[in-house]
């Protein structure tokens, strides 16, 4: 028997080049915000899941470093890794701790300091995140390179152009410009995107999310505790998950991320949502736009658009506020930034604030049904987590 779990507090640091803080200082920014948001103290937290991919940063045991700094000790903690979906994996683990009745209050905190290493080292580390021995060792793929394999295939199959994909970047920068937490707070034009240099053909610099430092924290509580803490809990209705092969050569298709499809379907089933009617239910979504192609595939994988029609959604501006479903009103990974293992908690924190009408007015989605969806992919479809939040209790 599983218990209902609510989000009772969230925190979100400014994303960007955060060389003004160390890794534990950066984590503390979000933890402090989440504690204050929930009205809880450190002693109330019964388990802490820390997501951090690291390698590029100096602390090999970030969970204990963060907890010591935050005064959450000897509570119990663990560090999780699911590549760029680590944050959602951390929320899933914290959710399970509460849902199972092991604890009443748990926290997921994601922190990443990618700028502790020079850019070429970071490019190397992320490039190795696939199958190191068979696909990196000899062929030197990079993270943009892996997604470029998908973009080439998508363009060929559906006749999408590089200019089409730039429209995703333009949208996400438009909203990033309205989010004070975003790494890039400037609007861009199609022309600027098209003029940017190739980093992994056909992916250009402006198709790509940046190297980011950042943190985000989410505090989860059982229904009983949540009722005492807040009049406006946001409920976790479902967390769907799936994974895929490490070797991209073993994938059957390069126009869709299978793990994303399965994670979405699991989440819809758990939340009792019909995939065909998802546009009538979800008010706002954050999807994993590490590259512009990833956002377009997400539209299709999640059932926002039919196969091959994801590109139409962005051409027709259907994912802006006022369109069929507003997507990435935070600026997304593209403009808000992508601190690898903090991105998942960042999405959940953003959507909690969206549902509670707490974000900046010009990027606030109209909340009608009280449902939000976070789609968080790790690696190149290696991991996938889809989380559905709602204002109504399960």
Phi, psi of 3 (to 5 degrees): -95, 155
Exactly one of 120, 276, 322, 392 binds other proteins (CB under 8 A); which one?
120
Q: Which of 12, 84, 173, 288 is catalytic?
A: 84
CB–CB of 247/146 below 8 Å? no
Query: Where in 284-303 is the site for other proteins (CB under 8 A)?
Result: none
Exactly one of 39, 101, 140, 366 binds other proteins (CB under 8 A); which one?
140
CB–CB of 290/339 below 8 Å? no
The residue among 127, 319, 141, 159 whose CA lies nearest residue 255 is 159
**Min dist. Cβ of residue 340 to other proteins (A):** 16
For residue 319, the SS3 value is coil
What H or E segment, with its residue span, contains residue 390?
strand 383-390
CB–CB of 347/384 below 8 Å? no
Distance from the first to the final alpha carbon of the chain? 14
Residue with Cβ nearer other proteins (249 or 392): 249
Is residue 304 at the binding interface for other proteins, with CB under 8 A as the rule?
Answer: no
Residue with Cβ nearer other proteins (139 or 180): 139
Binding-site string for other proteins from residue 229 to residue 268, where x marks contact by CB under 8 A and - marks none = ------------------xxxxx--x--------------
The residue among 89, 123, 129, 112 whose CA lies nearest residue 27 is 112
**Min dist. Cβ of residue 181 to other proteins (A):** 18
Residue with Cβ nearer other proteins (148 or 242): 148
Structure-block tokens of residue 85:
């979906």
Q: Which of 173, 338, 375, 382 is catalytic?
A: 338
156 has catalytic annotation = no
Q: How does strand 203-204 pair with strand 284-286? A: unpaired
Q: Which listed range, 24-32, 125-133, 185-193, 329-337, lies at the site for other proteins (CB under 8 A)?
A: 125-133
Give the Cα-Cα-Cα angle 78, 82, 83 (nearest 5 degrees): 120
Residue with Cβ nearer other proteins (124 or 312): 124
**Number of residues that this document lists for the chain:** 394
The residue among 279, 211, 264, 303 whose CA lies nearest residue 381 is 264
Binding-site string for other proteins from residue 29 to residue 58, where x marks contact by CB under 8 A and - marks none = -----------------------------x
Residue with Cβ nearer other proteins (71 or 202): 202
Residue with Cβ nearer other proteins (40 or 182): 182
Query: Where in 143-202 is the site for other proteins (CB under 8 A)?
Result: 144-145, 148-153, 156-157, 197-202
CB–CB of 360/179 below 8 Å? yes
Residues that bind other proteins (CB under 8 A): 17, 19-20, 58, 118, 120-121, 123-124, 127-128, 131, 133-136, 138-142, 144-145, 148-153, 156-157, 197-203, 247-251, 254
């Amino acid at each position: 028997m599983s218990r209902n779990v609510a989000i009772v507090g969230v925190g979100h640091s400014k994303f960007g080049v955060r060389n003004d803080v160390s890794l534990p200082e950066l984590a503390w920014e979000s933890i402090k915000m989440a504690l204050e948001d929930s009205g809880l103290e450190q002693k109330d937290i019964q388990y802490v899941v820390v997501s951090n991919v690291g390698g590029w940063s100096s602390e090999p045991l970030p969970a204990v470093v963060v907890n010591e700094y935050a005064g959450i000790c000897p509570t119990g903690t663990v560090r999780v890794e699911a590549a760029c979906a680590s944050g959602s994996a951390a929320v899933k683990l914290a959710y399970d701790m509460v849902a199972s009745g092991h604890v009443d209050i748990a926290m997921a905190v994601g922190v990443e300091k990618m700028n502790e290493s020079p850019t070429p080292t970071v490019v190397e580390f992320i490039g190795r995140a696939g199958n190191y021995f068979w696909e990196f060792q000899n062929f030197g793929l990079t993270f943009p390179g892996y997604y470029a394999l998908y973009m080439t295939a998508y363009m060929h199959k559906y006749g999408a152009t590089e200019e089409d994909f730039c429209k995703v970047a333009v949208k996400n920068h438009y909203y990033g410009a309205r989010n004070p937490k975003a790494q890039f707070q400037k609007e861009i034009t199609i022309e600027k995107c098209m003029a940017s240099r190739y980093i992994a053909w056909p992916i250009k610099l402006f198709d790509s999310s940046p190297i980011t430092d950042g943190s985000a924290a989410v505090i989860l509580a059982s229904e009983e505790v949540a009722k005492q803490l807040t009049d406006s809990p946001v409920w976790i209705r479902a967390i769907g998950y799936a994974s895929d092969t490490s070797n991209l050569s073993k994938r059957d298709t390069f126009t869709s991320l299978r793990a994303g499809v399965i994670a979405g379907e699991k989440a819809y089933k758990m939340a009792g949502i019909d995939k065909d009617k998802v546009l009538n239910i979800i008010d706002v979504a954050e999807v994993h736009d590490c590259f512009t192609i990833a956002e377009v595939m997400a539209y299709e994988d999640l059932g926002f658009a039919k196969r091959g029609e994801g590109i139409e959604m962005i051409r027709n501006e259907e994912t802006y506020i006022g369109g069929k479903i507003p997507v990435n009103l935070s600026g997304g990974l593209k403009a808000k930034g992508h601190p690898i293992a903090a991105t998942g908690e960042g999405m959940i924190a953003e959507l909690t604030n969206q549902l509670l009408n707490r974000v900046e007015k010009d990027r606030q989605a109209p909340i009608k049904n009280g449902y939000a969806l976070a789609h968080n992919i790790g690696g190149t479809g290696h991991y996938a987590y889809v989380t559905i939040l709602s204002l109504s209790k399960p």
